[in-house]
Amino acid sequence: MKNVTTLILALFSVLTFGQSEERNEILIDKVQPDDIYLAGEKIEVNAAVKGDLVIAGGNLIIKDSIHGDLTGAGGEVSIEGHIVDDVRIAGGKITIDSEIGDDLVVFGGEVVITENARINGKLVCFAGDVTVNGEVIEKLDVRAGDVTINGTIRGPSKVVGEDITLGSNAKFYKEVEYWHSDGEISFNDALVNTQAQFNENLKEDATQLSLTTFGTKSISSWVKYILSAFLAILVFHALFKHAFSKAVEGIEHNWLKSFGFGLVYLIGIPLLIIVALLMIIGIPLGLFATAIFIFSLFFGHFIAAILLAYYFKYKKDNNWGFWSITLLALGFALLMRLLTTIPYVGIVVSVVILSITYGALTLKVIQSKKQLVYN
């Protein structure tokens, strides 16, 4: 598990290398009245953000309050300011040293919830090493290599770890379900009018994360997924950056139209493939179309993430460079992966995302063809 932690730390450090100099360090020292979206090697927030904050970079430091959601991906992340709503963070080393108004979902190599931290919603954590010294009001759901708990857990808990350590200040007020590589452990005085149950079935969670969660088979595979996502985004961005840049122009006025065209693509292409395969003369074309369609579905979220990053660049009129957009797209890709893990809702989210993405790209191709004809 130490190797997994090192891999994650190294990965998120590599992601920040080579960013444009003008965006290397970003300092927010004035109150932001609305949502902001940032990407840079180092981002420090020393003033309140009245809306949501979406950030990606090497070193992320949040010292003031965020009045909406916080979503970020970085090498090293430190949250010291009050977050009013949800937090979704992925990174190498993550430290939470503040109050979180609602749920905290965190993925990282090393995660530390300090004694000053208070999570008013759920804490969901997947990590190499995780330490919980603070207070969790609702459910605790932790899957990690090394788990250390020395704080207060008010709601029910599910803890899966190769090594679980309970500190002298650990208190559980609701039932605990756990799996430990060495079998049952003693909770001593940590249980307050409740009980802990060892569940052998949770062993699967230590070695396998199902398709309904992350689509990967282990924590190390989750690391590989992040690396694969980065590489895929990097390639698509490098090859088609001009296409993405053009596709977002005017997209905010054509959401429904883009969704409609994309839905026709998602539904119509499979029907055409079936028809082609039923015709002997159309079998080669059908097989080719099938490969292209599967490819578009497999990489759809990565393509959507790049398009979304360019949309925010276009919307905010920011002079972001290649690496800034790539990192922001990676953050969006991870966020979309989280959203699509929600049962049933995840399917709807995927359909909407892919429809708008391929619809917007299709519309831009059609417009380009028309311009060539008229010229």
For residue range 30-64, what is the model confidence (pLDDT) as tens digits? 999 998 877 667 889 999 999 998 887 678 899 99
Distance between CA atoms of 176 and 192, rounded to whole angstroms?
11
- Residue carrying structure tokens 């991870």: 334
Lookup result for tokens 């090497």:
58
For residue 7, the model assigns a pLDDT of 38
Nearest 5°: the CA angle 203, 204, 210 is 155
The pLDDT value recorded for residue 213 is: 39
Dihedral sign (CA 302, 307, 310, 312): negative
Cβ atoms within 10 Å of 101's Cβ, excluding its own: 20
Q: Cα–Cα distances in Å, from 348 out to 23, 333, 343?
A: 35, 16, 9
Distance in angstroms (rounded) separating the CA atoms of residues 260 and 270: 16
Q: Please state, in angstroms and rounded to a whole number, the distance separating the CA atoms of residues 101 and 106.
A: 15
Q: What share of the chain is helix, strand, coil (3-state, %, to 5)?
A: 45, 30, 30
Residue 144: the pLDDT is 85
- Among the listed residues 172, 111, 174, 191, the one whose alpha carbon sits nearest the alpha carbon of residue 144: 111
Q: pLDDT band at 369, cuts 50/70/90?
A: low
pLDDT of 237 higher than 90: no
Model confidence at 9, in pLDDT bands (50, 70, 90)?
very low
Q: Three-state SS for 54?
A: strand
Question: Which residue carries 């992601």 as its tokens?
Answer: 15
**pLDDT tens track for 311-366:** 888 877 777 788 888 888 888 888 887 777 666 667 787 788 888 888 888 777 67
Report phi then psi at 147, rounded to 5: -120, 125
CA distances (Å), origin 335, targets 48, 54, 80, 204, 328: 23, 10, 22, 24, 11
DSSP 8-state symbol, 348: H
Question: Which is higher by pLDDT, 175 or 18?
Answer: 175
Band (pLDDT 50/70/90 cuts) for residue 78 is very high
Q: Are 198 and 180 in contact (CB under 8 A)?
A: yes
Length of the chain: 375
Predicted local distance difference test score (pLDDT) of residue 343: 64
CA distance 134 to 373: 64
Rounded distance between C-alpha atoms, residue 241 and residue 245, angstroms:
6
Decide if pLDDT at 19 tops 50.
Answer: no
Distance (Å) of CA 342 to CA 118, 185, 217: 25, 32, 17
Q: What is the C-alpha separation between 282 and 263, in angstroms, rounded?
A: 24
Predicted local confidence at residue 171, as pLDDT: 97
Q: Which amino acid is at 52?
A: D
Q: What angle, rounded to 10 degrees, do the helices at 322-339 and 345-374 form?
A: 140
- Say if strands 152-153 and 135-136 run parallel, antiparallel, or are unpaired: parallel
Which pLDDT value is given to residue 286?
Answer: 67
**pLDDT: which is higher, 239 or 301:** 301
- Residue 24 has a pLDDT of 63
Measure the CA–CA gap between 170 and 183, rounded to whole angstroms.
20
What are the tokens at 87? 């937090």
b (16+ CB within 10 A) / e for 298-326 = eebbbbbbbbbbbbbbbeeebebbebbbb
For the chain, the distance separating the N- and C-terminal CA atoms, rounded to the nearest angstrom, is 61
Q: Which two tokens stand for residue 319?
A: 């002079």
Q: Which residue type is seen at 163?
A: D
pLDDT tens track for 116-155 = 999 999 999 888 889 999 999 999 999 888 899 999 999 9
Rounded Cα distance between 81 and 58, Å, is: 19
Task: Tell which residue, 112, 114, 115, 119, has the closest CA to residue 94.
Answer: 112
Q: What CA dihedral angle connects 157, 161, 166 and 171, to 10 degrees? A: -10
Torsional sign, CA 329, 333, 334, 338: positive
